[in-house]
Amino acid sequence: MNLCFARLIVLTRSISGKSTVDLFLWKYARPGKSSPTCNALIFKRPAFQLIAMLTPDTGKRTALIHAAVTKVGRVEVGSTLTSLQASPIVRFTHEEFRRSVFSRTPRIAVFDCDGTLWSGDAGLGFMTWSMDAGVLSRDASAWIDARHRLYRHDEVSELEICGEMVQIYAGLRDEELRRAAARFFAAHIEAEIFPEMKTLVADLRAAGTDIWAVSSTNDWVIEEGVGRFGIGPERVLAARVRVQDGLITSDLLDVPTGEGKAEALRRAGIPSPDVVFGNSVHDVAMLEMAERAFPVDPSPALAEMAARRGWKVFYPAAVLADHTK
């Protein structure tokens, strides 16, 4: 059988001395396809494993290999199971997550936004919506779409594409983009806000914690979104360009992604925040700055890093519910 590469992550916990599988994630890429497909399943029974074998023609699960997997692992699937590298990982319950955050009331808390405060990629969503809604011209839409295809093929870097997804709006009025961002967020992202994270931010603010939002998505969308959390624009570090006389220019001022997120925080006078929350490898640099790091709905790559670093992870209820469908 011709099988694809697959990656799995299994989060385990001990109940009455027995390991149980909480979450089983797999990721694969079909031959000739650059963008992997992700899916997840929930199991709450004694673990015997469940490694999905995937056929490249349909991508469907066609068989299960039984293996004693009770840790986070990366599995190479060829004609046979070829390797397993595992590190332990632990998942917070909601109550444990809150207790850990508030165990020492943090003075400064830093949050990534897309995938951490809400589900999904608001930056990509806004770009696509802008093309469909006519906010971007046909030529600009074709150019950024082509650039994003190159990014998906690893021919354009994360830093480059995040900057270009802001620069593409050059020549438009700032107030026009802010109105567009408000319409987009209300229609497509607001319902995806994680209630647990919104409550957490509100409770931290009530306790006097200084809250910051850091994102590689454009500042129009991020400022609109985090306003729902009571975070003002003066506490937002997002991808942005210079605005002159009300017109958006192509002059990049910042693109906080990867190490750039940590650099943006240091420039803001925050060299060591008390707590940091993020969901992807692009958040690792700022997670490592924190006294306590909290991966939220982590990507497979971040989950593996969290396992190696001993960071416990938190999955909002909406994420777990989606994985059981």
Q: Are strands 236-244 and 81-87 parallel, antiparallel or unpaired?
A: unpaired
Q: Are residues 140 and 188 in the same domain?
A: yes
First to last CA, the chain: 28
Q: Are residues 274 and 291 in the same domain?
A: yes
Mean pLDDT, the chain, as a whole number? 79
Q: Are residues 105 and 73 in the same domain?
A: no
The domain of 13 spans 5-88
Q: Are residues 191 and 68 in the same domain?
A: no
CA gap 43, 11 in Å, rounded: 10
How much is the pLDDT for 321?
77
Tell me which of 84-98, 192-206, 288-302 is least confident: 84-98
Assess whether pLDDT exceeds 70 at residue 175.
yes
Q: Are residues 176 and 307 in the same domain?
A: yes
- What percent of the residues of the chain are helix, what percent strand, and what percent coil, each to the nearest 5? 40, 30, 30
Q: Are residues 146 and 14 in the same domain?
A: no
Contact 6, 54 (CB under 8 A): yes
Q: What is the mean pLDDT of residues 70-77?
A: 34
Question: Which of 32, 53, 88 delimits the end of a domain?
Answer: 88
DSSP 315: -
CATH number of the domain that 197 lies in?
3.40.50.1000
CA gap 177, 107 in Å, rounded: 33
Block residue for tokens 């990366």: 74
Q: Are residues 83 and 99 in the same domain?
A: no
Q: Are residues 162 and 266 in the same domain?
A: yes
CA gap 134, 119 in Å, rounded: 25
**CA nearest neighbour of 19 among 91, 121, 83, 84:** 91
Nearest-Å Rg of the Cα atoms of the chain is: 21
Assess whether pLDDT exceeds 50 at residue 38.
no
How much is the pLDDT for 87?
55
The total of structural domains in the chain comes to: 2
Q: Are residues 300 and 176 in the same domain?
A: yes
Question: Which of 34, 63, 88 delimits the end of a domain?
Answer: 88
How much is the pLDDT for 111?
98
Assess whether pLDDT exceeds 60 at residue 69.
no
CA gap 163, 253 in Å, rounded: 9
Continuous H helices in the chain:
94-102, 122-133, 138-152, 158-167, 174-184, 195-206, 219-226, 259-267, 284-289, 300-309, 317-323
Question: Which of 69, 88, 107 delimits the end of a domain?
Answer: 88
Q: Are residues 141 and 243 in the same domain?
A: yes
Q: Are residues 184 and 220 in the same domain?
A: yes
Beta-bridge partners for 247? 173, 244
What's the CA dihedral at 154, 160, 164, 166 to 10 degrees? 120
Q: Are residues 40 and 146 in the same domain?
A: no
